[in-house]
Structure formats: C-alpha cells, structure tokens
Amino acid sequence: MTDLHAREAELPEWDGPVVELIEEARTVGVAYLEDGAMLVEFHPDEDGAAWAFDVADLQRVLDIAAAMLGVDEPAPAAPLDGGHPVDRLAQEFDAVADFRGEEDEGFYPVPAAAAIVARCESLGLAVVSLEGFTRLDSNLQPVAGHQVDLADAHAGESWLTFQAGCNVQARALLERWSNRSGLIVAMEVADGSGERFVL
C-alpha cells in the first residue's frame, strides 16, 4: 500500500466541494462532483510524467473521496436472469473443472481459475480464497505455499474496495502460480453480502 490518501479541501477556483488526492505530501489529483457524478483529474508529476498507482490502493482512496463528497456507494450487482451471480458463475465454468471432490467442489487449471477471476469482476463477486493442489488419479495433494485467504487482508473495507483488492491479488497470485506444472486450484468467492461460496 502506498501513501496515497484523500483530503478535503476548499479551493477558490472550484465552486463546490473538492477532495485532493495526496501522495507523499504532493497533490496528484482532485475529485469533485459534476452533474451528480464524481470526476477525478490527475496532474502530471514534476517531470510531466504520469503517476502510476496500485489499482486496489487507488480504488480504496477513490471510495474514501466518494464518501467525502457524499456519493452513495453502488449496490452490489443484482442477480442475473433471476438467479444468484454465483449460480451463473458455476454454470459457466462447470465444464472446465479438472476434478470435483466428494462435496462437488471444483478444482480448476490455472488458466480457468484466472478466467473465473475476470468473470467475478463483471458479476460483482470477489475471489476470497485460493488453494493449489496436485492430483494423482483421485488423490489430491496440497501444494506448500499455495494457500491464501484474500479476505483477511481486506477485512473492514467497503465492498468495492474489498472486491477490487481481492481480485487484483487473486490475478497476481495465479500469474505467479501459472509456472507450476499440473497445478489445479480450489476457489471460494463472496458476494456483496459477505456470504462465501465454494465453486
């Protein structure tokens, strides 16, 4: 996490409320309301170059800025086609599971797991747990160093920040894990209510 944070400000050139985005005591941008929507302008650095921020950290600060400006947080994604987003996710990826356990939990090749993370973003879900295994016939062996509960690192955050942070971390982990031959991944996801589901 960087030093990026939000600070309320009164600037003479702005008519309404403004929130400055601060990185190491430097103003890197401003957030403000226009026609009821929050807009953000980023300034170049001292050399005229663009700033680069971690996506999850930036989302966290933008959520704070939105709260300061009185912008209501969007509700979690509504169920699609009359069903729960997790049901839709399971239907779409059921066929790509490499193996299913005794309780019908899926174990997915790393490329399929990465595709699930991407789909979770559009369905309003967060990937909250990943665990890597190798398999010989029906025998599963956990792989050391390949188990993580992503929800712990983002506990207490707003839903949008929580979702973004979990999914960013999940993508990064799966990218690192992709070099391990034969790895399959068990996954848990959460919806906006915080309920967790094994895929």
pLDDT in tens, the chain (199 residues): 467 888 888 777 777 788 888 887 888 888 888 877 888 888 887 788 877 877 777 777 787 787 777 775 554 544 445 578 998 888 888 888 888 888 888 999 999 999 999 999 888 899 999 999 998 877 888 999 999 999 988 888 888 888 988 999 999 999 998 888 889 999 999 998 889 999 8
Helix axis angle, 159-177 relative to 55-68, nearest 10°? 180
Task: Count Cβ atoms below 10 Å from residue 36 Cβ, excluding itself.
Answer: 6
pLDDT in the model for residue 66:
79
pLDDT in the model for residue 81:
54
pLDDT in the model for residue 75:
47
Question: In 3-state terms, what secondary structure has residue 59?
Answer: helix
pLDDT in the model for residue 7:
84
Query: Among 38, 37, 28, 33, which residue's Cα sits nearest to residue 62?
Result: 38
- The yes/no answer on whether domain 85-198 falls in CATH 3.30.190.30 is yes
Give ranges for CATH 3.30.190.30 in the chain. Answer: 85-198
pLDDT in the model for residue 67:
76
Residue 96 DSSP label: G
